[in-house]
Amino acid sequence: MMAAGIVTFLFHKLKQPLILGYLIAGILIGPYTPPYGLIKEFDVLQAVANLGVILLLFGVGLEFPIAKLRRIGFRVYLGISLIEILFMFLVSFGIGWILHWSLIDSLFLGAALASSSTVIIAKVLEDMGKLKDISALVMMGILIVEDLIVVTMLALIISMVGSDTSEFNDMTLTLGKIILFIVGAFLIGMLIIPRIIDKVAHPESDDEKTHIEVLILVALGLCFTLSIIGNLIGLSLAIGAFLMGVFIASAKSAEKVATLTSPIKIMFAAMFFVSMGALIDITQFQVFLPAALLVTATMVVGKIAGVGIGTRIFGFDKSISLRVGLGMGQIGEFAFIVVNAGQALEVVNPVLFPTIAVSVAITAFLTPYLIKFSYRITPDNKMHLLSC
């Protein structure tokens, strides 16, 4: 927190994105940066990062009630996601051909590039005050669907390359659990969660201090519960937290919950990005930078083309299509899960993981500027949705 406070103060004075300040603060105190002594406990960094993911995405979900997400529709999110992912696999096969990687390497690279970073996109949009824009709504919907598709693709790829059929059976069972989780979460979330929150927010007691404390604990307890349940069945921590935020956003007291939990979210979101920066191994940059630059450049172009074309096909104008395309031009944290699965099966090139890691770091630094650039070059008119 000390490092984050100092560096982000400087970045604020320089009028640069705060998220970059967090990442640089993490690099400065991380275990890979000389003198290598300030932070050494990787488990602690990961635990703090997980807390940051949960609380940040919970706060973002509070900005998107179900009615608002339904305004665009799951069909649109799914259609754009499928078009974009097809583009990313084409890009991955091109990268594999240039770098002389095997077909299996290209498949895992495609799955790794398929999902963007929910956490980074949400933080940048929040800092810019753009979370309520149509483009932000489209991006958040796509990001949720992306994670679901990547889990499915990972099961298919493992079934193709894995020698143990039990691996595929386990993944099939996981997919069934995920479907039940999503359906059950929406049924319970829409019917029960808003009522619970409103009941807690307006108690019969007149003790204001006590009921505020109870409201905060109940809201965060619900957030962590759904996040952990989702994670246990194979989803990222972010999905459960975001969905609980969406459910609570439908309550009459949603604004009160958002106000009370905002300081907690700010603190742990900062700790997440500092932890993420600390885990960036800058000693790998020189060795894997050429391949990482190729992956980054082609991935950004592929995302802009795939997401932009998909968004345009589903009835949005050029401004929204460009904002969504540029906004999603980065690699998500889920990429590490995909590559780790390939390493566990011993079927991918050892250079794939560090190449992806360097690319994730580069795109994390680029994202704030890409999103700002997308707003600078597009008109800010109100009629973004042509037909849906």
The two tokens of residue 96 are 């594999």
Find the CATH number of the domain harbouring 211: 1.20.1530.20
Rounded CA gap, 300 and 30, in Å?
A: 27
Whether residue 100 is contained in a domain is answered as yes
Q: What is the mean pLDDT of residues 10-25?
A: 83
Whether residue 276 is contained in a domain is answered as no
Burial class (CB in 10 A: 0-12, 13-18, 19+), 216: middle
Q: What is the mean pLDDT of residues 72-80?
A: 84
Those residues with Cβ within 8 angstroms of residue 22's Cβ, 6 or more apart along the chain or in another chain = 4, 7, 8, 270, 273, 274, 276, 277
pLDDT digits (tens, 9 = 90+) for 308-338: 899 989 888 888 888 998 988 888 777 877 8
Whether residue 367 is contained in a domain is answered as yes
Whether residue 235 is contained in a domain is answered as yes
pLDDT of 212: 84
Whether residue 107 is contained in a domain is answered as yes
pLDDT digits (tens, 9 = 90+) for 127-152: 888 888 888 888 888 887 887 787 77
Whether residue 37 is contained in a domain is answered as no
Rounded CA gap, 269 and 307, in Å?
A: 27
Residue 103 has pLDDT above 80, yes or no: yes
Whether residue 387 is contained in a domain is answered as no
Whether residue 7 is contained in a domain is answered as no
Query: How many independent structural domains does the chain possess?
Result: 1
pLDDT band (50, 70, 90) for residue 166? low
CB 244 within 8 A of CB 222: yes
Structural domain span for residue 119: 56-266+290-376
pLDDT band (50, 70, 90) for residue 174? low
pLDDT digits (tens, 9 = 90+) for 213-244: 888 999 999 999 999 988 887 777 777 888 89
pLDDT of 388: 41
Q: Specify the long-range contacts of residues 210-215, CB closer than 8 Å, at least 24 apart.
A: 212/260, 215/253, 215/256, 215/257, 215/260
pLDDT band (50, 70, 90) for residue 155? low
Q: Nearest to residue 147, comparing CAs of 57, 219, 224, 70?
A: 57
